[in-house]
């Protein structure tokens, strides 16, 4: 398992989130799902940026 770190840039403040996943595609899917939930709450545009990987 690895932890993938993403930076979600919102107009108010950037959010750094970590997702534990088997691979990059799985982590990106989790990040996109989290991003859609965040967009529903803020109703503003959110940019996603890959920041790094932590090997466990």
> Per residue in 1-56, pLDDT tens?
899 999 988 778 888 999 999 999 999 999 989 888 877 766 677 788 999 999 98
Q: pLDDT tens-digit profile of 4-18?
A: 999 988 778 888 999
Contact indicator for 3, 51 with CB cutoff of 8 Å:
no
The CB density around residue 40, as the number of other CB atoms within 10 Å, is: 8
Rounded CA separation 47/10 (Å): 7
pTM of the model: 0.82
- The domain locations on the chain are 2-55
CA 33 to chain centre: 8
Tokens (6 digits) for 1: 């398992």
30 half-sphere exposure, CB direction, 13 A CA radius? 16
């Amino acid at each position: 398992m690895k932890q993938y770190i993403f930076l979600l840039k919102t107009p108010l403040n950037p959010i750094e989130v970590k997702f534990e996943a088997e691979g990059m595609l799985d982590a990106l899917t989790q990040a996109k799902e989290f991003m859609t939930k965040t967009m529903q709450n803020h109703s503003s545009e959110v940019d996603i940026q890959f920041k790094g990987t932590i090997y466990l």
